[in-house]
Amino acid sequence: MRARTVAAAALLLAALPAAVAAQNCDLSSGQLNRVASGTPQEMTFIGGGVTFTCPDGKVIRADSAVLVAATEQRFLIGHAYYADAEKALSADRINYFAREKHLNAQLHVVLNDRVNGATIQGDYLDYYLANGPQTPSRTYVYGGRPHAVWRAKPGADGAPRADTTSTVVDADRMEIQGQDNFHAMGNVVLTRGPMKGTASEVEYAPADNHVRLIGNARIEGERFALTGGTLDGTLVGNTFKDVTATFQAQLQSEDLTVKGSSVAIAFTDGQVERLVALSPERTKRTATDGSGLAEATSREFKLVADSIDALAPGEKLEKVVAVGRAYGERQNDSIATKLPDIVSKDWLRGDTIVATFVAAAPSAAKAGGKVAGKPNAAVRAAPPRAPADTAQRVLERIVASGGTTPASSAYRIVDEKQPKGMPAVNYLLAQRIAVAFRDGEVHEVHAEGQIRGLHLEPTPPAPAKKPDERSKPTTNSVARSPAGSTGSGKP
């Protein structure tokens, strides 16, 4: 979409009635019949195939035409057509009411901008001329699901643009206000190459290159889907530069799912490059969005915070930064033993958490790791896994930093000799805690600053009693026997 595209539609509609009435446009074909000539009832009928040709190149055609002098009404009936060097309008019928400054086109309406390659189709079109600076012109297209197409504008030398992708809009009705605002309403579908948007309404302001999708808004790409109550985007050369979703916003991609009161995406060449999610407190929308935090979830880790900033050059997740009340926890780990909630998962907490991701690499058995300060502690082990898909992004490292309060973490350590046994639990408080991962498991933990914490080992199970020991009384048992007899030791 471009400013000239919307403006051209208005200029075309304004030019048509003037051209029909212009004295310098000759009737080059058609049979003319004037009725009540010279009276207020004068009408002119033109049949047999009407063609007006004008010195400036304008062409007006129809099967027949009627001109009413008193009311300044003009009707082009049957295969009605208007064209100049820049634009064209065709329909089964085109009516113009000069006093009302109203043009109406009916059935099989096609409005085409030859310069910008824009086309709008529909069953009906109404155009109202501007009435002073306070009342801009208005164009309405409706009936038969209006269909609009914007193509790349040729270069200054007339050479076609390298980008030949079209922007297509389908809706129940469309409206153009003045020369600057396009509005599509009712089950709107907007497509641009592999990108598709849907919403109840779409607004476009060409002067600002701004597009807004309103109501159950959604934009889908080849590898992502962004939803929200409202989506605001900036177009550069008919390609999205950025999009911001607000009100219950959510981004779903192959590597990451992000939720927040607001989710903003920056694109490079149509691919997601960066995204930022904000909590309702940060966007000041707690009244409508509640008081939760922004959230980012990958296959292996979940982060929540006041704000989350993810970098994904080439749509490959590289880094996620969570700031403000940041909390992260492992997802889908292999430890199935039931533990209290506080240590049921590996987690970190801090003022800021930074997670980095790399391409998954083929892996054999998981290697044993080490924990800072406990070189002999065994990191959980697991059976060998099949080589990973290198297109998948996996968690490489996560770092939690404290602010006015220290960062904290809890993680479990499985004894590789008893992988199904109760794991040990390590709890840390420090100014900075860094956790490295290998093959999806904790490999190394490093803490800085004033370090405090606990390391809890599971209690070994009591050895099983032998059968003959089960029948013997314990040291606290008291044997009772009948008076005058010898006790057997049994109760």
Single-letter amino acid, residue 320: V
pLDDT on residue 155:
52
- pLDDT at position 170 is 95
pLDDT band at 337, cuts 50/70/90?
A: low
- The string of DSSP codes covering 386-443 is PPPPTTSEEEEEEEEE-SSS-EEEEEEE--TTSTTSPPEEEEEEESEEEEEEETTEEE
- Residue 12: per-residue pLDDT: 47
pLDDT class of 441 with cuts at 50, 70, 90: confident
Selected residue with higher pLDDT from 361 and 219: 219
Q: What is the mean pLDDT of residues 364-372?
A: 41
CA 107 to chain centre: 36
Specify the range with the lowest mean pLDDT, choosing from 235-244, 413-422, 437-446. 413-422
- Pick the range with the lowest mean pLDDT from 93-97, 203-207, 374-378, 398-402: 374-378
pLDDT at residue 464, as a whole number: 66
Strands 319-330 and 301-305 turn out to be antiparallel
Average pLDDT taken over every residue of the chain: 77
What share of the chain in percent tops pLDDT 90? 30
**Whole-number pLDDT of residue 16:** 52
pLDDT confidence of residue 471: 52
Q: Calculate mean pLDDT across residues 308-319.
A: 89
- The pLDDT of residue 87 is 77
Task: Tell me which H or E stretch contains 280.
Answer: helix 280-283
Using the structure block, give the residue that is written with the tokens 């400036």.
56
Question: Average pLDDT in the 429-440 region?
Answer: 89
What lies within 8 Å, CB to CB, of 111 at 6+ separation is: 9, 12, 87, 88, 89, 119, 120, 121, 125, 141
Q: Is the per-residue pLDDT at 375 higher than 50?
A: no
Q: What percent of the chain has pLDDT over 70?
A: 74
Is 351's pLDDT higher than 90? yes
Within 10 A of 144 (CB to CB), how many other CB atoms are there?
14
Average pLDDT over residues 298-324: 90
Max mean pLDDT among 48-62, 311-325, 436-450 falls in 311-325
SS3 content of the chain, % helix, strand, coil (to 5): 10, 55, 40
**In 254-366, where do the E strands start and end?**
257-268, 271-278, 294-297, 301-305, 307-311, 319-330, 347-359
* 53-57, 271-275, 299-303, 393-397: least confidently modelled range: 53-57
- Judge whether residue 29 has pLDDT over 90: no
Question: Which pLDDT band holds residue 462 (cuts at 50, 70, 90)?
Answer: low
For residues 233-247, give the mean pLDDT: 83
Q: What is the mean pLDDT of residues 73-84?
A: 88
The confidence score (pLDDT) of residue 442 equals 79
For 418, other C-beta atoms within 10 Å of its C-beta total: 11
Of these ranges, 129-133, 196-200, 469-473, the one predicted with the greatest mean pLDDT is 196-200
Least confident of 66-70, 116-120, 185-189, 364-368: 364-368
Q: What are phi and psi of 262, to 5 degrees?
A: -140, 135
Q: What angle do CA 262, 306, 280 make, to 5 degrees?
A: 45
Going by pLDDT thresholds of 50, 70 and 90, the confidence category of residue 239 is confident
Residue 258 near residue 251 (C-beta atoms within 8 A): yes
Does 6 have pLDDT greater than 60?
A: no
More confident residue, 105 or 135: 105
Q: Which residues pair with 361 in a beta bridge?
A: none
| pLDDT interval class at 48 (50, 70, 90) | confident
| 207 band by pLDDT with thresholds 50, 70 and 90 | confident
Domain ranges in the chain are 333-470
Per-residue pLDDT reduced to its tens digit, 161-202: 544 567 889 999 999 887 668 899 999 999 887 788 999 999
pLDDT, average across residues 291-296? 90
- What mean pLDDT is predicted for residues 61-88? 85
